[in-house]
Structure 1
């Protein structure tokens, strides 16, 4: 099976540009910290996503059973972290206030993907759908890493820039508070939805029936 590069790029583009925890956090950071201070986090997220998909490509084949057993643990840990982040976002101060939350930074962006259920789902799908049978795994991992980072970077940059673009409309404390609470609510709902998506089928059905 040969890699369908067009389909892979389209998949990465759709997943990179659609709403999710990374993009919501980037938009909020653009509002509260500006684009320049968001760039390290932006680069960390894009590079981290590429590296995560590359690592999954290398190890998924031999560790698929182990990874499946950790799926619930990863989902719960990721959901808990995103809910905590939503709480911090809802309580973010005015730009320039003492005690204002700091921008996440490159390392934070790099590590953020490992607790983002959407990135895990994205990585699993890339490996399971696009991994070619006759290409050495390390070559596929390198290709997926470069493509994922390169395609995702401009997609998520749009969200950081959009936060900067609408900042002038949030010049009052009340409007900014409404925005932060709205983004926090969306992040919390996204976290819960992703948790349900990653639950085993039986548990997911029980959760949805409650």
Structure 2
């Protein structure tokens, strides 16, 4: 993979990572409610889940999905249920200082975040695009591994910005009456961000 392709890949990874989406909504909400450090399992779960998906697609699973509309439909249904569950979890989250509040949920963990990527049809589509566009057929496995490495280097700090932004937002909102409306708004945004995926072809 030439340096020009690497720069193009890094740019693509930056845009896809830092732009608004369901994963970044979760990071913003988690940073707001639990802080950056406690949101790290969520952050690394998102990255590892997506990169695992890129690897699976690169090794041929993408072709299976493309040829199996029923499997893709099932994936969408599972995703819809999982997104609604995560949205409910975010909506019921409390500020990190309210540890004694039984309504407070713990931060979304590594496994939950990774599983969300694996049932996210939009993420599958991005993984398919990137493996087709940025791999070298003459050195396929090597270029696939390099692709994953570049995405990892770009993705972690890019999505981390959302969690840090959530923590900074907490300083503005405090832990008072604005926290609950914020969490509900993030839950609604999470569901809304996936609507185009659910209604798309």
Quickly say closer, same or farther: Cα 1:167–1:103, change in 2 above 3 A: same
Q: Choose from 79, 96, 109 the match for 1:105.
A: 109
Is the aligned partner of 1:148 residue 2:151?
Answer: yes
Do the aligned residues in 2 keep the contact of 1:89 with 1:180 (CA within 8 Å)?
A: yes
Q: Which residue in the other structure is 2:47 paired with? A: 46
* 1:159-174 aligned within 5 A: 159-174=162-177
Q: What count of residue pairs does the alignment treat as equivalent?
A: 197
TM-score, structure 2 length as denominator?
0.87
Q: Cα deviations across residues 120-178 of structure 1 (Å, max 9, x unaligned)? A: 12101112222322123x22331222122221111100000000011012224321111
Q: Quick one: distance in 1 between partners of 2:143 and 2:73?
A: 27
Q: Which residue in the other structure is 1:130 paired with? A: 134
Quickly say closer, same or farther: Cα 1:27–1:59, change in 2 above 3 A: same
Q: Cα RMSD over matched residues? A: 2.1
Residue 100 of structure 1: how far off its partner (Å):
1.2
Q: Quick one: distance in 1 between partners of 2:34 and 2:190?
A: 18
* 1:1-210 aligned within 5 A: 4-60=5-61, 63=64, 65-66=66-67, 68-95=69-96, 96=98, 97-136=101-140, 138-197=141-200, 199=201
Residue 33 of structure 1: how far off its partner (Å):
0.9
Query: What residue ranges of structure 1 are gaps of 5+ in the alignment?
Result: 200-210
Quickly say closer, same or farther: Cα 1:69–1:7, change in 2 above 3 A: farther
Quickly say closer, same or farther: Cα 1:67–1:164, change in 2 above 3 A: farther
Do the aligned residues in 2 keep the contact of 1:50 with 1:147 (CA within 8 Å)?
A: no
Query: What residue ranges of structure 2 are gaps of 5+ in the alignment?
Result: none
Q: Cα deviations across residues 38-87 of structure 1 (Å, max 9, x unaligned)? A: 11221121122222112210114763544554222212221221122112
4+ residue runs over 6 A deviation: none
TM-score, structure 1 length as denominator?
0.84
